[in-house]
Amino acid sequence: MDQFRIRSLTESDLTQIIKEAGGVRAHPDANSRDVKGADYLLSNSVIELKGLDDDGLAKTERQKKLAILFRENVSNAPVIVLDRANLTGNQQRNYDHIIEGPIKSAVASARKQIKQSRIEFPNCTHSILFLINNGYTALNHDELVRLVADRVRKDTDSIDGVIVGGCYFYSDGFDHFFIWPLEYVPIKIKSYPAFKVLNDAWNAFSEKFMTRVVRGELDEDLLKGPVVDCEFEREGVTFVKPAPPLGFKSDFYRHGRPRKNSTGLEKCPPVATIIAGMTRTDWESFRHVLPEDPGLLTSHQDWLREEQKAYECAEPLKPLVRIPVNAGSWLTWCEEHKISHSLQSVHLYALSLFESRIQSIISGAREIKESGLTPIRYIIVITDEIGQDRANDLSHIAIVRLRPYDDPVVKPLIENARIFHEYALALASAYAIAHNIDAVMWKCNKRYAWI
């Protein structure tokens, strides 16, 4: 999914674009100067170039602050999406303050350099910050524009306008997509006269760059892969800022774009602990056939006590499922499968009944829809698909009982389990058998899905 690589934009690239627009280096002797000035002169403006080259979410201190902020809203989930929209007003301001660190540094540095060059070039009337997003992929273009504009307005009156641009690379493993936004953000002057010619030069450069990409002519510093989920771990919780969805279906991947699966699961793990359920009459029948087998214990009451202990030790992701068995059917099954009579074969028989039942329930499971009919009583399984890795999906399972003229009764069984849809569907089906429910309904929440 991330084998294809391109190179990042360089200062030489931006210098070429400025020159094509009619600009020049402001200080050709920059390397020998004692004080730093701005990078370029274009028309009657001073332009300082700044690049966001690093992943802002890779900083440990920033991760710590974000984790604390989002845990205020979601305390128990093992995966938390870093979505600003889920925060309150004050929390959103805190989020911006945390996430804008590299932007704040760039603005502070640019302010000083622009001031210096405006002293040296008094005929210039405009001061422009040119910001390129090369590596802060946790921020898309619109987020970056908003944060830069807000930061400049708070920090300085020395910058008249900001130009924000970048090359954003997206890939689903088959198709590769590039967007080259360039946007002027007014701060003190509404319109920047030189932006049109600069934008034309930018577009011309991007076309040449993409032509070289298609022809395979870029062979230096191919380190930039497609935008992927940004994620980090803090105290056992995974925090994810999903990569933006491409927003349209793939013509190649008819069943949806492929997602990473770092769970390591190649098949569904066991979703139940199976126990052979016996009435007193059944137990006596089995004892008659297996008079010496100590596994049947000394009485039906002892058998029930062991069953109760098993219930108490069962795990949420592997619930105890009691499968009723009777000796006559078991004997027939043993004969058909040429299996000797033993308590082990009783458990194998119960397992075979469970497998047949769960396969039937899974195959009959239906997606729940607002306009569709639903049973009076069913198991609901909802999976929140999060980003590009199925390991970050969260699933929830509950029993639902509909009531006429009243809200349904919902009994949660599993909440925020870190399991993907197919696994969750099998687990829900096991719970259906355990609770003697015939129907399973499902829904995949695509709010943060990679589509």
Same-domain status, 201 and 303: no
Same-domain status, 66 and 153: yes
Same-domain status, 387 and 296: no
| 292 falls within a domain | yes
Degrees, nearest 5: CA angle 248-251-256? 65
Same-domain status, 337 and 373: no
Same-domain status, 331 and 397: no
Could you report the per-residue pLDDT of 230-244, keeping only the tens digit for each? 999 999 999 999 998
Mean pLDDT of 409-414: 96
Same-domain status, 292 and 436: no
Same-domain status, 97 and 221: yes
Handedness of CA 365, 371, 373, 375 (dihedral sign): positive
pLDDT at residue 244, as a whole number: 85
Which segments of 21-166 does DSSP mark as H helices, in order? 60-71, 89-99, 101-120, 141-155
| 396 falls within a domain | yes
From 308, 337, 364, the end of a domain falls on: 364
How many domains, in total, are found in the chain? 3
Instruction: Give 213's pLDDT tier (boundaries 50, 70, 90).
Output: confident
Handedness of CA 384, 389, 390, 392 (dihedral sign): negative
From 314, 344, 364, the end of a domain falls on: 364
Same-domain status, 340 and 384: no
| 343 falls within a domain | yes
Residue with tokens 């946007």: 183
Same-domain status, 18 and 154: yes
Task: Give the burial string for 86-122 (b: 16+ CB within 10 Å, else e).
Answer: ebeeeeeebbbebbbebbbebbeebbebbbbbbeebe
From 338, 364, 390, the end of a domain falls on: 364
Domain boundaries, position 421? 366-449
| 313 falls within a domain | yes
Could you report the per-residue pLDDT of 108-150, keeping only the tens digit for each? 999 999 999 999 999 999 999 999 999 998 999 999 999 999 9
Instruction: Give 3's pLDDT tier (boundaries 50, 70, 90).
Output: low
Instruction: Provide the 8-state DSSP code for 73.
Output: T
Return all residues near 131 (Cβ < 8 A) that are at least 6 apart. Answer: 50, 51, 52, 103, 106, 144, 148, 162, 163, 164, 165
Same-domain status, 139 and 34: yes
| 239 falls within a domain | no
